[in-house]
Structures are given as C-alpha cells and as structure tokens.
Structure 1
C-alpha cells in the first residue's frame, strides 16, 4: 500500500474513533435557492449582488462545531447578447468563503477571497470577519454583495444582460478522508443556480 493511501486510511480511522467521520443518514434533500439577483452600475464598473437561502444540515453543523472549516463558492458569469450567434461571455468572477469556528475565542471566522483558500493560499488577500454566533456568520455567507464583474466598456451598455449565478458548498476543500466519506450523502449537497436577464441599476 502506498504511504499516502496508508496515511489517509489511518486518518479516516482516527476521525471515526473521534466521532468526526460522517455517518449514513436518511436521504433527504437540502436545497438552496437564489432569493435576490441584481446588477449595479458603480463608479468603477458593473457589480453583482445576490442572496441565497439554505438551511445548514445538522451533519455539516456538527463538523463545524468540531473545528473543521467548511468552504462555500459563489460564481457569476455575464454575457453579451448576439442576435446572429450564441451569447458571448464577457466576464466571470468567483468568491470563495471559508467558515470556521475558533475554539480559543469562541467566535466564528469568515474568510472571503477571490481565489480558493487552501493551505496558506488565499489568506493573504482575504477579508476576515468575526461573528459571535453561527447564525450571524451564515447570514454573511448568504449575502453576496458587490462582486465586481468588470468595466462597463468591457461588458457593454446594453439595457439588459444575461447573467448566470451559482452557489455551492465546496466539499473538495474538506480534509481528504471527509471527501471520501461525503460521497452520496445529501446533507453535503448544498447548491443552487439561477439564470436571468437583468437590467443594470444605478448604485444605491
């Protein structure tokens, strides 16, 4: 057996003994939905604002309570309509969010960055927020504000723009044994997508 496989097996056994390994649960959907989506014309470009709604499954909350970080990803694409061909993608942006419990301070920390937050990567350019409760931290995760899509000159000044917005819980950022354990478990399936033709509103 390869050393890496042996290490993963040992870690999986340790998680199981500590009660951190995901256990099978009754199959049920944990759906998410996009409750708000709009484009805004700012002083320096076009921004997207979105809001999502979802309930955090007990299994995911249990993992968070034990100090394991959970990652969310919000992605947006904006297109320019073309009557003679398919719409052309003119901008794409992503926001990566890392939510973790800090046992020493008993507070919740949310890191937000434009790149994946893995290991030491992403922390240097991330925005850090601390919250007293998990509910407050999740409210911040669900409000996706001011995602800059690009300059008006690059996006175009059409009256409306086709937009695709996606939000998901990113299980690929979990510890390696957990990535194996969550396969087929609906509790980790938090994702939603919405497509719409949106007008560009003035900044509020």
Structure 2
C-alpha cells in the first residue's frame, strides 16, 4: 500500500514539474507598437507582431496543409457597477497556404472564418517566400475597428488585443495530434488604455 501511495505521489509531483516546462516551451507572440488612430473615416488599429513558427507548424505548411491565424480586438467601456460594456468586437481571420505547383505562398484575409472554398475572402495576396508571407501576417496596418463616434478616448475605455494560431480549423487528424503539444500553441495578447494621447 505504501509503495502504491509513493508511486502515486511521484506521478503527481512529476506532472506538476512537467506542466510549467510545457508552458515555457509554447511560442509566445510578441506584440509591439500598438497604435489606435481616430479620424473622420473611423477608428483604426495598427501593430507589429513578432514570432517564429514552431517546427511542426512550418513542416505542415511545406507539406501543403494551410494554417489559420486569428487576430481579435475587443474594446470595453469601464463600468464600476457591472462588468465592462463591450463597445466593439472585431476579428481578422488569415489563411496561409503553400501552393506546390506554383511554389508560391497564398495569404487570404477575411472578417469571418475562411473555409476551404475561400468564400468570404476580402483580400488575397501571393508571395514568393514564406518569410515574405509571414511578414504580411505579422503586420497589422490601419485595421478599421469602429466608427469614430463609437469610441471615447477619455481613459475609461480599454482595448484588448489577441493573436493566435487557430488549430480548430486544421484537418481533424492534426487537431487530435496537436492536443497537448506545445509546438501548436502560438499566441499572445496585450491591453491598451485609450486616452486623449492615443489618436494621431
């Protein structure tokens, strides 16, 4: 009985030691130069992202398996008596794929999830190399997130931004294989308080 308890204790200890290690190995997206601009045309968000694709993700891309990325913005208005009020909630979906016949990379961008048919795509770009395609994924420039009158820049509103690799859109066998593997965990988030200094 004692030996069983000792073995169980060791397994629990090993599990708790392993979890921080697994989290440390996940790929963090560094979010730099977040800017929010307001003009008569609306409110625009810009930022530069910095990350390197994990080996498994890059290998899958070279084998012709598309990868999906999601950028998400929510603007919230402070409320002391209740949870913060959502002012706007926007998404940008990106599908990156390698085309073996042309040896080119294709990036599709849309405000709604992108299916294999490509329906709903707003922007489509071709690139000669993976670094060029990734540079476009990592650069968010003047993304319109709201009308100018919708957001107040008085210090009582904040913006929450997140970016991640969306494994839910991968083929089913890859989704199952990605479970528990930190190589498939690519994400980052950052907040920004909106004040009078924010608009350009």
Aligned 8 A contact 1:40 1:47 in 2? yes
Instruction: Please give the alpha-carbon distance, in whole angstroms, between the structure 2 residues aligned to 1:112 and 1:94.
Output: 10
Q: CA deviation at 1:147?
A: 2.1
Q: Does 1:107 align with 2:104?
A: yes
- Residue among 68, 71, 75 paired with 1:71: 68
Query: CA offsets per residue over residues 30-80 of structure 1, 9 Å max, x none?
Result: 222211211111332111112211111111111000100000000001122
Instruction: Please give the alpha-carbon distance, in whole angstroms, between the structure 2 residues aligned to 1:160 and 1:35.
Output: 23
Q: Does 1:95 align with 2:116?
A: no
- Residue among 190, 196, 199 paired with 2:186: 190
Aligned to 1:148: 144
Q: TM-score, normalised by structure 2?
A: 0.81
Matches within 5 A, 1:4-153: 28-82=25-79, 85-120=82-117, 123-153=119-149
Query: CA offsets per residue over residues 95-137 of structure 1, 9 Å max, x none?
Result: 00000001111110000000000132x5343200111110011
Select between 172-181 and 156-165 the one with higher mean Cα deviation: 156-165
Q: CA deviation at 1:86?
A: 4.2
Instruction: Please give the alpha-carbon distance, in whole angstroms, between the structure 2 residues aligned to 1:189 and 1:138.
Output: 17
Query: CA offsets per residue over residues 132-167 of structure 1, 9 Å max, x none?
Result: 110011111111122222112222353673110000
> Over aligned residues, Cα RMSD in angstroms?
1.9
Gaps of 5+ in 2: 1-20
Gaps of 5+ in 1: 1-25
Task: Kindly name which structure, 1 or 2, has the bigger radius of gyration based on alpha carbons.
Answer: 2
Secondary structure in structure 2 of the residue aligned to 1:166: strand
